Chains A and B, each alone.
Chain A
Amino acid sequence: MMISARNITKRYTLKGTPAVFDASFAAPPEGITTLLGPSGSGKTTLLRVVAGLESVDQGQVLFDHRDVTRLPARQRGIGFVFQSFALFNHMSVRRNIGYSLEVRGVSKADRRRRTDELLALVQLEGYGDGYPLQLSGGQRQRVGFARALASKPEILLLDEPFGSLDTQVRLELREWLTQLHQTTRLTTLMVTHDQEEALELSQQIVVMDGGRVVQVGTPSQIYDQPKTPFVAWFVGTGNVLRGTVEGAKITVGSLSVAVPSGVPDGSEVQAIVRPHHFRLEKNGAAPGRSVGTITRLVGLGGNVKLQLKLPSNQSVTVQLSRREAESMRLEVGDSVTVDLAEAKVFVANYSI
């Protein structure tokens, strides 16, 4: 089932900026779409609007071609998973999972059969008679998923489902969700502030900032063709270099970045450089062309992250493979020359 949001505006207060402003996107059937953005960007509000937990001031929500904008949450036929798990702690795990069936008047025997299926699906066989508070965080959230799936909804909505879990468990559950999605093929809409999670899990990403949808695209579109400096910076940590175009390039300190043709001389532009787009060369190779000094160098497993101080006093983050760094024998204090052939350049008037 396709989820479409059309020009959604939601205000919590009469005055002041709206939490969501004129937001539109469509989540394709059977795919995982993520709403990605920093806190306060309106992503959770937009998800709650789709769920029917929040009313809208303007705009429409459609499930396929059906307008559900005025339909209460309990009639939308969705499964919702909360960051806080939101389990009913006074009910057994089994009753939690079967709650949507209990509400619909499904017989006890059928409920038992279905909850057994779901306990198996979320790998919690044997935990049915326990209570939520006896489970670990990861197990609780799997109960949350099972409960949301019990009545066979056609849409699954996830509000930072891994947000209150430890890194280790989070990575496990992320893997588990991919498998779950492959078996259920449910149209899934997930909120996250974690760009890695979004890039890894989703077929489509909706990037939000300040209550607006900034870009909608596949993970590679978002990463490789960011529409604004904000998207480039938020997804994939881009370094921002500002400069004035002169002869189809900008110069930052002694560093030159080529600008796409068509940008007139004299325009203010911002160049976005991914940490791994820097090509470094140790200074010895070309004396007198030094463009930066290494101020910090940290090993991160197979990669090395370093801070480079440019003559303009701006610091940029650079990432190299460990092998590359070791073969050049890079150390803190070294001067290096930089090649920026892969930098993305944005024309001015975009703001960060």
Chain B
Amino acid sequence: MTMTESWPVRFLLIGLTLGFLGLFVVLPMLSVFVEAFARGLGPYLAKLMQPDALSAIQLTLLVASIAVPLNVVFGVSAAWLICKYRFWGKSVLVTLIDLPFSVSPVVSGLIYVLMFGRRSVLGTWLEQHDIHIIFTTPGIVLATIFVTFPFVAREVIPLMQDQGNDEEEAALTLGASGWRVLFQVTLPKIKWGLLYGITLCTARTMGEFGAVSVVSGHIRGRTTTMPLEVEILYNEYDTVGAFALASLLMFLALATLIAKKIIEVSQHRT
């Protein structure tokens, strides 16, 4: 395509785009780092080393290390089911996978409180057996899984549908078992899409606020994840502390973008 617009129009368009991006994306992002490092590197690191901050980082990593692998397993199985089999109610399942995207995260959190809370039958039963879900790590993990489960499935399903089934069927006629087909044929075929899904899922898992906020109970040092700790610190007027922790999440976002770019380039090459 050749550009036919005259140069004033072009400058106006470029200026508008850059201005908009600068004002709404770059400037806020920079301000996070500016605020975080406002008193220099020493205080920045000191804030990150505080026990509450450390435990928030730890909890976030723990939640991600449970939720992401589970969502990978779920996403790949759901995609496999949807792409390889014909069954009744398939379109309902496809729609259900999208549900967490359309429900407000706060509502997702509330669902869990209602399900496992003291007022529900299940909650009472669990309490009698000394199992605690709400206001504990398991609750946070459950809520996070719910909010982030579409990421892997959504990335993998169109890819699998697009690639068809011929290679899998070829492997079957050559004598391969189902597991072998999955690991030697299907996973290599979808690996870039899957990696991208995992990256997005990880970023969202670590950054999830709404659903986690409802089930966490905000017990500092025990049930606050990084985004929750940022909010608490900010409300306590500890700007450097809040922004220091926020800057870690920002680094995560940048790493995700870089990973995305690398994956896209590799995908293009193969």
- If A84-B164, A87-B167, A88-B185 touch, whether A99 touches B174 (CB-CB below 8 Å) is yes
List B181-207 residues whose CB lies under 8 Å from chain A: 184-185, 188-189
Contact call B169/A100, Cβ cutoff below 8 A: no
- Closest partner residue, chain A, to B178 (CB atom): A74
B162 within 8 A of A: no
Q: Mark B58-93, 1 if CB is under 8 A from A, else 0.
A: 000000000000000000000000000010000000
- List of A residues within 8 angstroms of B174 by Cβ: 74, 99-100, 103, 147-148, 150-151
Q: Are B169 and A12 in contact (CB under 8 A)?
A: no
Binary contact readout A45-84 vs B (1 if CB under 8 angstroms, 0 otherwise): 0000001110000000000000000001111101110101
Whether A104 pairs with B166 at a CB distance below 8 angstroms is no
**Nearest-neighbor residue (CB-CB) of B176 within chain A:** A103
Distance, CA A79 to CA B172, complexed state (A): 10
Contacts of A52 on B, CB cut-off 8 Å?
173
Q: Does B121 contact A (CB under 8 A)?
A: no
Asked if residues B176 and A86 are in contact (CB atoms below 8 Å), the reply is no
Counting CB contacts under 8 A, is B10 at the interface? no
Interchain CB contact under 8 A, B166 and A86: yes
Q: Are B170 and A82 in contact (CB under 8 A)?
A: yes
Of A73, A88, A90, which is within 8 A of B173 by CB? A73
By DSSP majority rule, is chain B's interface helix, strand, loop, or mixed?
A: helix
Interface-central residue, A76, A79, A80, A151, by most chain B CB under 10 Å = A80
The 8 Å CB contact of A151, one of B86, B169, B175, B188, is: B175
Q: Does B261 contact A (CB under 8 A)?
A: no
- Counting chain B residues whose Cβ lies within 8 A of the other chain, the interface size class is 10 to 19
Asked whether A51 lies within 8 Å of B173 as measured between CB atoms, the reply is yes
CA–CA, A157 to B169, complex, Å?
13
Contact, CB under 8 Å: B173 / A74: yes
Question: A145-181 toward B: CB 8 Å interface, digit per residue (1/0)?
Answer: 0011011000001000000000000000000000000
Q: A74-B177, A88-B185, A90-B188 are in contact. Are A99 and B171 (CB under 8 A)?
A: yes
CB neighbours of B177 from chain A (8 A): 74, 103
Number of A-B contacts (CB under 8 A): 62
Q: Are B173 and A53 in contact (CB under 8 A)?
A: yes
Q: How far is the CA of A51 from the CA of B173 in the complex (A)?
A: 8
Assembly CA distance A87 to B177 (angstroms): 17
Closest CB of chain B to A263's CB: distance in Å?
48
Contact between A74 and B166, CB atoms less than 8 A apart: no
* Chain B residues, CB < 8 A from A72: 172
Task: Report whether A82 and B175 are in contact in the complex, using a CB–CB cutoff of 8 Å.
Answer: no
Q: How far is the CB of B173 from chain A (nearest CB, A)?
A: 4
A73: contacting residue among B167, B169, B189, CB under 8 A: B169
Interface contact A53-B169, CB-CB below 8 Å = yes
Contacts of B188 in A (CB 8 A): 88, 90
Contact indicator A88/B175 (Cβ below 8 Å) = no
Specify which of B164, B170, B176, B185 is in contact with A80 (CB 8 Å cutoff).
Answer: B170
Q: Specify which chain B residues have a CB less than 8 angstroms from the CB of A53 in the assembled complex.
A: 169, 172-173
B175 touches A86 (CB 8 A): no
Q: A74-B173, A151-B174, A151-B175 are in contact. Are A86 and B167 (CB under 8 A)?
A: yes
In the complex, what's the smallest C-beta–C-beta distance from B236 to chain A, in angstroms? Answer: 53
Contact with A along B150-177 (1 / 0, CB 8 A): 0000000000000010110111111111
Is B175 touching A74 in the complex (CB atoms < 8 A)? Answer: yes
Smallest distance from the beta carbon of B15 to chain A beta carbons, Å?
44
Q: B169: which A residues are within 8 A, CB to CB?
A: 53, 73, 80, 82, 86
Known: A86-B166, A90-B188. A80 touches B173 (CB 8 A): yes
Contacts of A88 in B (CB 8 A): 167, 170-171, 184-185, 188
Task: Quote the shortest CB–CB distance from B92 to chain A (angstroms).
Answer: 17
Nearest chain-A residue to B168 (Cβ)?
Answer: A86
Question: Shortest distance in angstroms between A163's beta carbon and chain B's nearest beta carbon?
Answer: 13
Supposing A12-B86, A88-B185 touch, asked if A104 and B172 sit within 8 A by C-beta, the answer is no
- The listed residue with most A CB atoms (<10 A of its CB), out of B170, B171, B173, B270, is B173
Q: Which residues on B sit within 8 Å (CB–CB) of A100? A: 174-175
Shortest Cβ distance from B189 into A: residue: A90
Which B residues form the contact surface with A (CB < 8 A)? 86, 164, 166-167, 169-177, 180, 184-185, 188-189, 270
Q: A74-B173, A86-B167, A99-B174 known; 9 other A-B pairs, CB under 8 Å?
A: A51-B173, A53-B169, A53-B172, A73-B172, A74-B172, A80-B170, A84-B166, A86-B170, A104-B175
11 pairs, CB–CB < 8 Å, chain A vs chain B? A52-B173, A73-B173, A74-B172, A74-B176, A75-B175, A76-B173, A78-B173, A86-B166, A87-B167, A103-B174, A104-B175
B-binding residues in A (CB < 8 A)? 12, 51-53, 72-76, 78-80, 82, 84, 86-88, 90, 99-100, 103-104, 147-148, 150-151, 157
What 5 A-B pairs have minimum CB-CB distances, sorted nearest first?
A: A86-B166, A100-B174, A80-B173, A86-B170, A90-B188
